[in-house]
């Protein structure tokens, strides 16, 4: 089974009003385990809407979302939330780290919430920080880290609970171009190493070209790039 399969998704806002916006008009996409898909879309095309639906944070007006072969649109909200917590990791353009906690703690906390022991959570957090090259920064709070380091911590946090699907919305979009390149490389290495299925939205066609497959969201549908 593909890790993620969305089919014929439609989603609109302002239903019935004169300014109704039909953002998704029949979106179909399938992502296999270990496959990294680049999602390219002009601003306002519906990229965030699609990622939120694929990540079970939002529901489509019609169409289906399957995770590892199970149709999520048939589940109760509670079950969908449980699957999301177990299966999906999110990365945003802005890291949303908790400012009063250290880098390490930001990666440990979601694991504790998931029932992992403190010892195991600390060990996994350290291993993840090491993989993205900032093991020495674990005891720093986000404000003491550079933008690139903060995003690396956010990558580690997204992978802390060993999701099978990673959804990233412009994960290096707030960094200067040179830093963005290096941090993006660290993310791709991490994703490749864990064998995750991933959908990574980016405006940067060079970064997109480094992924396995490229799709463009345009006029409410996906087309190969």
Residue ranges that bind ligand ADP, judged by CB under 6 A:
13-14, 21, 23, 41, 43-49, 57, 81, 85, 90, 96
What phi, psi does 103 have (nearest 5°)? -55, -50
Quick one: 166 or 186, whose CB is closer to ligand ADP? 166
Smallest separation, CB 112 to ligand ADP (Å)? 12
Quick one: 90 or 184, whose CB is closer to ligand ADP? 90
- Alpha carbons 4 and 131: distance in angstroms, whole number: 26
Within 10 A of 39 (CB to CB), how many other CB atoms are there? 27
Smallest separation, CB 136 to ligand ADP (Å)? 25
Smallest separation, CB 56 to ligand ADP (Å)? 9
- Alpha carbons 146 and 153: distance in angstroms, whole number: 11
Quick one: 182 or 216, whose CB is closer to ligand ADP? 216
Smallest separation, CB 20 to ligand ADP (Å)? 9
Quick one: 92 or 184, whose CB is closer to ligand ADP? 92
Q: Name the DSSP letter for residue 201.
A: E
Place of tokens 């090491």: 130
Within 10 A of 119 (CB to CB), how many other CB atoms are there? 8
């Amino acid at each position: 089974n593909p890790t993620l399969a969305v089919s014929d998704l439609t989603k609109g806002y302002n239903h019935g009003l004169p300014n109704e916006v039909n953002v998704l008009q029949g979106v179909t996409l399938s992502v296999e385990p270990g496959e990294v898909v680049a999602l390219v879309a002009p601003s306002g095309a519906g990229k965030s809407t699609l990622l939120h639906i694929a990540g079970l944070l939002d529901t489509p007006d019609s169409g289906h979302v399957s995770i590892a072969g199970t149709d999520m649109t048939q589940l109760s909200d509670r079950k969908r939330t449980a699957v999301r917590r177990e299966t999906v990791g999110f990365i945003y353009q802005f890291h949303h780290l908790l400012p009063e906690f250290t880098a390490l703690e930001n990666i440990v906390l979601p694991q504790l919430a998931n029932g992992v022991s403190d010892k195991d959570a600390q060990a996994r957090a350290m291993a993840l920080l090491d993989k993205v090259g900032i093991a020495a920064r674990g005891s720093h709070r986000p404000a003491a880290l550079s933008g690139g380091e903060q995003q690396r911590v956010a990558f580690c946090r997204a992978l802390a609970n060993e999701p099978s699907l990673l959804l990233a919305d412009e994960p290096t979009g707030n960094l200067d171009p040179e830093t963005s390149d290096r941090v993006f490389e660290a993310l791709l290495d991490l994703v490749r190493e864990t064998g995750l299925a991933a959908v990574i939205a980016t405006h940067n066609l060079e970064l997109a070209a480094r992924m396995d497959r490229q799709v463009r969201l345009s006029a409410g549908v996906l087309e190969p790039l």
